Structures are given as C-alpha cells and as structure tokens.
Structure 1
Amino acid sequence: MTKMPKWADAVLIPLISILLAFFFSGLVIWAIGKDPFMAIRTMVQGAFGNTNGLGYTLYYTTNFIFTGLSVAVAYHAGLFNIGSEGQAMLGGLGVALVCLNVPWPHWTLALPGAMIGGALFGAAWAFIPAWLQAKRGSHIVITTIMFNFIASALVGYILLNHLKVPGAMATESARFGAGAHLPTFHEMLAPFGIGFNRNAPANISFVVAILAAIAFYVLIWRTRLGYEIRAYGQSETAAKYAGINPVRIVIIAMLISGALAGLMAINNVMGEAERLIDNAVEGAGFIGIAVALMGRNHPVGIVLAALLFGFLYQGGAELAFWESIPRELVVVIQALVILFTGALDNMVRIPLEKLFLALSRRRKDA
C-alpha cells in the first residue's frame, strides 16, 4: 500500500509548495513597503491580461517545455542532466547554420531543417558526457555542468570570429532569410478572425513544444525503449539482470535529452530573434530543471510548470516596470518557487504522507 495517492503527489504537493512560495514572496514584497496583492494583480494582468503579455508568457513557456522535457528524459534513466543550458546553446548554433546557409523558400521547409540542425547539435553536445558516464564512469552532473561553460565559450568564439556581421557592433549573426521566418500567433490566428498582438514573440514553436510533450509521453510509457529507460532508472542492477544494456540506455537517453534541449533554439533563435545572439538561452536550461521537478517528470506536469515559470518571467518583468520593484526581487520570487517545489519538497511531502497514512489507518479501524 502506498503512503499517499498519486493525485496528491502529482497535484496537491506542488500546489501547496507554490502557495507557500507565493505566501513568503508576499511577505518579502510587504517588507519593502509594497502591496503584495497589488503586486500579484500586476503580475497576472501583465502575463495574461492582454495578447502582448500572453504572447511573451507563451514564448517563455515554450522554452521551458523543451528544457523541462530534456531534463525529464534523462531523469527517467536515473541521470541528472545539468547540461541543457549548454545543449540549447549548441542547438542555437545548429539552427543558425541551417538558416544562414540554406536559401529556404518557405518556413514549412525551413522549420524541419532547423529542427534537425538544432536537435543534432544538442544531441552531439550531450553525447560526450554520456559516453564519459557510460564508458569511463565520469559523473554526469559534473561533466554536464562543465560542458555548459565550454559551450558558452565555443558558441561565443564561433559567433564572434565567423558568424558576426563584419563592422557590426553587436555580437550577433546576420538575420535569417525571409523563408526562415516562422509564423507568429498574430499571423496564425488572423485567418480565423482572432486578434493577437503582432509584436508578441509567441510563434508556431509553441505547437512544436506541445507535440514534443506528446511524443515524450508515447516514448516513455508506450514503447519498449521507454520501458527500458524507466527500468534502468529504477534499478540498474535489475535492468542488467533483465538483459538491458546500460551503456546503450545512458547514451540514448542523453542523446534524446540533448536533442530536446537543442530544439529550444527554433523558438528563441529562429522564431523570436531570427538570428543567433550571444547568450540567447538566458538560463532557460537551468529553469528546465525546476520545471521537470515541479512537473514530476510527466509531460502534463511539465507543460503546466513551464506555464507557471512563463508567468513568473513575464509577470515579473511587468512587476519591475510598473510597480518599481527591483528586478532582483523578482528573481527572489522565482527562487522561492524553485526552493519550495524542489529543495524543500520533503517539508510538504512528509507531513502529507503521515496525514494520508493516518487517514488510511482510521478507515481500517472504523
């Protein structure tokens, strides 16, 4: 008998953790002399109150879905991939090379090509730590963290010395051709008579992210490979006894993880900036860790957690602009959400487990 029903683990614990995070965030806002209820109202209106704010919220959400799925795939194999940030950087390089070197006639051809480029570069960057873990016993956490810094330096070097427009001041590549322009929500919804802010960065990559979440579910819970990944993640010894090759699983899981992180670049590099910019990932790879943990490594939970962090990013920007609340305090609010949903998970889980166990015993005695 389990101590706690699955719905409580999937819904109740994250909900309580989020409420605790917002409660303490409100105390912090109140301590600096601001109205916490006004702050929450400003964040909600800024993130969902109009199509411009909603467009930015969904844009951030798209990034976090890809990186959250990236972390979750590795986690199901018992691996803690901290390298989604670097893998997304290399994915951006792959997308840029595809978009800059091929004269795409239309986005319907450019998008699949960019997806292949981003996924291949992201997977290639994840392969080296995977091989070191599988063959040499190097810890995946250490190697993926180190590869984030190497990726940043490598992409910066290539961008500055090979892709930067000669004579330009900004460290960025040339803009992609018109055929590589992805349709925004404004362009997608206009034929249906639905108005959407034309300047909002949300684009068709959001649809790709949702499809990736569906594919993630099918892979992990409806395929033999997914079963082997989960079996290895639950018990390496049992998986070996069952004939599952640990080297194969580690490398395949990390390749998929890196590919998903690399796919993020179709949103921020191809969809929004339409060029490669230095440090284009902006920490989305690390936020993906919190998204995966909060979403319990399930695609539905990851999409919802990504939406929450998209709300925090866009709502936080509005809060800093309209309420004169320091941007650093917005980061504190985001950190509190990560703290309560990740590091302090047992603070909520253990009392709830005891409560459900006591209720179960009371029903038996009745």
Structure 2
Amino acid sequence: MEMLRKIFSKSSILIPLVAIILGLIVGAIAMLAGGYNPILAYSSLLDKLFSTPYNLGEAIRAITPLIFTGLAVSFAFRTGLFNIGVEGQFVMGMTGATIIGVLLDLPWYIHAPLAIITGAVFGGLWAGIAGYLKAKRGVNEVISSIMLNWIALFLSNFIVAKFLVEKGQQKSMTVHESAMVKIDWLIKLTDNARMHWGTIIAIVCVIVFYIVLWRTKQGYELRAVGHNPDAALYAGMNVNVTMVKSMFISGVFAGLGGVFEILGVFGNQTVMAASPGYGFDGIAVALLGGNTPIGVLLGAVLFGGLSYGSAGMSFGAGVPPEVVRIVIGAVIFFVASHGLVKWFLKPFLNKRASKRKEAA
C-alpha cells in the first residue's frame, strides 16, 4: 500500500499532468503556426476516440502493445538496466507466435497457450542475450540491445520468407484459427473492432509487475542489484544471474506485446521493411509513467489514444498526423525536464508550503 500511496501522491501525479498540459499547449501553438484550429483539432481527436464503439475498441487495441513495451522498459530500468532493445524483443515475440501458429495444428486449449508462451520466451531469450553480455563481458546493454534490434528484424524476415511465407506474398501463411486469441463477444460489442485477450493479459501484467518487484524476495534482489551492484554482491546476491534474469523478464513483457499483435490482430506476419515502433514508443510510455506499473498503464492510454485519434485530427481539422508526434515529443520533453515543470509549478508549491507553515 505504501507503494500505491507514492504512486498516487500529489507530486507524482502533478508533474506528469502539468507536462501533458504543456505538451498539448505546445501542440496547439504548432497548429496555430501552421494555420490550423487547435480547438477543432483536439475536439476531432476526442470524437475519433469516443464517437463509436468501433473506434473505442480500436483505440484500446492500439493502447495494448504500448502497455507491454512500457512495462518491459520500466522493469529493466527499475533493476538498473536500460533495455533499449524492446523493439527487437517485440519482433521476436511476433516471430515465435507465428512459427507455432502456422506450423502446428493443435486443439485451441493447447495451441493458443503454446503460441503465447513461445513468443514470450523468444522475447525473453532475446533480451537475455544483452543481459548475459552485460553480466559476463561488461558490454553496455544499451549498445548490445540496439544492435540486437536490427538482428531481430532481419532474422525475423529471414524466417518468415524462408519457412513461413505464403506463396507469391510478402507475408507468412495465416495462423491457424486454433491459435487466435480474439474475444468474439467483445468484437461484436464493439462493432468488429479487433479486440483480443492481450488487453486483459496486459492489465494482469501490470499487477504482476508490482507484485514481483515490491512483494517478493526475488523482486527485492532485482531492485537491490539495480540500486547498487557492489552492495548487493557484498550481501551475497548473485549479481550476474540477477542481471540476466531481469533482462529476461523485461523481454517476456515485450515478447507478449508482439505475440498478441499476431494472434489477436493480424493473424500473419509480414516481411517488414522497418520495425513496428512499439518498442521505442514504450520508452516514452515508461518515462511518462515514472517507471511505475500504474503510470505505465496511464501513459500507454495517453500515447495510444493520441496515436489512434490523430486520424480524427487529419479528417476533422486537416491537421497532419505529424503534429501528434510534436505533442508526444513535447510531453516527453516536459516530463524529462522536471526542473522546467517545477519552475512552472513554483508559485503553487510556494503557496502550499507557506500555508503549511502557517498551519504549523
């Protein structure tokens, strides 16, 4: 409960909230400079998100992978590692799920769980490579994980094109229906939006993140190694194993994000010219969420909502989607610039401090 109180404390909520408002203001200024109406643009964005059950369902679908990648980045960061290779782990999760979904034909109660677990393990193992290099060879995980992003992309393309490809197409064969994880009743409720079990599992992962890090002995060791590896080693903890374990768990979160894009949304994997981008957006989500599980969930809702709603800004107000990226970039800038946000909040904070003195 102490952790939850910290998450929902005034200071932890106020700074991201002010950062979001400042980001929206910067976006409005950019629109005005381009000759667009910011009020119409933002109202069109909200209309796109909430106008129909289909749009709401698709917005939730767009938010789901960002929860997974945000959790992946946050988990590693909480344990003293910067996992910038979430993009590659996401892609490997897609590939693992596609392999099982295409090549095997099993009963649904075996096929779908096996595909999910395989994709998660693929993502975990891919992150584990960077963790192993860090633990055994001292290789900076930022460098190794960035390089592994590209290796994952091209390895995935090779596997799809060589072993899984649909003849005459630049994509894999369709995953068997027994491996798909769509929620039929929710799809009907949202007018055929692509709703799937990944959204529910993402919420479960938010809870698991909190329990593992703050309610288990293993989580204490993970955080201890992240705070001070030398002190953790002196206390008898196996620092090297803990680093690899931390990266593996982080990769599992990222891999799950890729799994549900295949099994819940697309049903096949294409030969990609570039990575999907969810891993890099996950860094922004984690930053906005303060590397807390609830914060990541809320950050994913904001980023996913802005990304999906940008189409409404384009059609309703003629604003190009790139302006949404300006808003997101501005929000990230203000979240990262705590000193600048606190400068905006200084009059309010000083007033509150003076009231406390008077009350004392």
- The TM-score, its normalising length taken from structure 2, stands at 0.91
- Does the Cα contact within 8 Å between 2:121 and 2:252 map onto a contact in 1? yes
Task: Give the whole-Å Cα distance in 1 for the aligned partners of 2:78 and 2:174.
Answer: 38
2:310 corresponds to: 316
1:300 matched to 2:294: yes
Task: Give the whole-Å Cα distance in 2 for the aligned partners of 1:358 and 1:232.
Answer: 40
Task: Give the whole-Å Cα distance in 1 for the aligned partners of 2:21 and 2:304.
Answer: 17
Deviates more, 1:283-292 or 1:174-183: 174-183
1:58 to 48, 57, 60: 60
Deviates more, 1:282-291 or 1:322-331: 322-331
Deviates more, 1:237-246 or 1:298-307: 237-246
2:176 corresponds to: 177
1:72 matched to 2:74: yes
1:188 corresponds to: 186
User: Cα gap change, 1:355/1:39 in structure 2, threshold over 3 Å: closer, same or farther?
Assistant: closer
Task: Give the whole-Å Cα distance in 2 for the aligned partners of 1:362 and 1:225.
Answer: 43
What is the aligned-residue RMSD (CA, Å)?
2.1
Task: Give the whole-Å Cα distance in 1 for the aligned partners of 2:91 and 2:298.
Answer: 24
1:19 matched to 2:13: no
1:261 matched to 2:254: yes
Q: Residue by residue, what CA displacement relative to the aligned partner does 1:67-109 show, whole Å, maximum 9, x if unpaired?
A: 0110111011110100000000011110001111221332x43
1:205 to 198, 202, 207: 198
Task: Give the whole-Å Cα distance in 2 for the aligned partners of 1:351 and 1:328.
Answer: 27
Task: Give the whole-Å Cα distance in 2 for the aligned partners of 1:122 and 1:78.
Answer: 19
Taking only the aligned residue pairs, the percentage that are identical comes to 35
Task: Give the whole-Å Cα distance in 1 for the aligned partners of 2:110 and 2:82.
Answer: 34
2:321 corresponds to: 327
1:155 shift after superposition = 1.1
1:140 corresponds to: 141
Deviates more, 1:253-262 or 1:119-128: 119-128
1:229 shift after superposition = 1.1
1:155 corresponds to: 156
Opposite residue 260 of structure 2, the aligned amino acid is N
Task: Give the whole-Å Cα distance in 2 for the aligned partners of 1:268 and 1:130.
Answer: 25
Q: Number of residues paired by the alignment?
A: 352
Q: Residue by residue, what CA displacement relative to the aligned partner does 1:30-64 show, whole Å, maximum 9, x if unpaired?
A: 11111101111111111122211111211111100
User: Cα gap change, 1:349/1:237 in structure 2, threshold over 3 Å: closer, same or farther?
Assistant: farther
1:219 matched to 2:220: no
1:268 shift after superposition = 1.0
1:311 shift after superposition = 0.5
User: Cα gap change, 1:351/1:29 in structure 2, threshold over 3 Å: closer, same or farther?
Assistant: closer
1:287 shift after superposition = 0.7
Task: Give the whole-Å Cα distance in 2 for the aligned partners of 1:53 and 1:337.
Answer: 24
Task: Give the whole-Å Cα distance in 2 for the aligned partners of 1:252 and 1:103.
Answer: 32
- Does the Cα contact within 8 Å between 1:159 and 1:173 map onto a contact in 2? yes
Q: Residue by residue, what CA displacement relative to the aligned partner does 1:136-189 show, whole Å, maximum 9, x if unpaired?
A: 111111111111111111111222222211222xx21011112122223x5237
User: Cα gap change, 1:135/1:306 in structure 2, threshold over 3 Å: closer, same or farther?
Assistant: same
User: Cα gap change, 1:237/1:355 in structure 2, threshold over 3 Å: closer, same or farther?
Assistant: farther
1:285 corresponds to: 279
- Does the Cα contact within 8 Å between 1:159 and 1:172 map onto a contact in 2? yes
- Does the Cα contact within 8 Å between 2:290 and 2:296 map onto a contact in 1? yes
Task: Give the whole-Å Cα distance in 1 for the aligned partners of 2:310 and 2:187.
Answer: 27
2:339 to 338, 342, 346: 346
- Does the Cα contact within 8 Å between 2:85 and 2:127 map onto a contact in 1? yes
- Does the Cα contact within 8 Å between 1:269 and 1:277 map onto a contact in 2? no
- Does the Cα contact within 8 Å between 1:165 and 1:173 map onto a contact in 2? yes
- The TM-score, its normalising length taken from structure 1, stands at 0.90
- Does the Cα contact within 8 Å between 1:85 and 1:286 map onto a contact in 2? yes
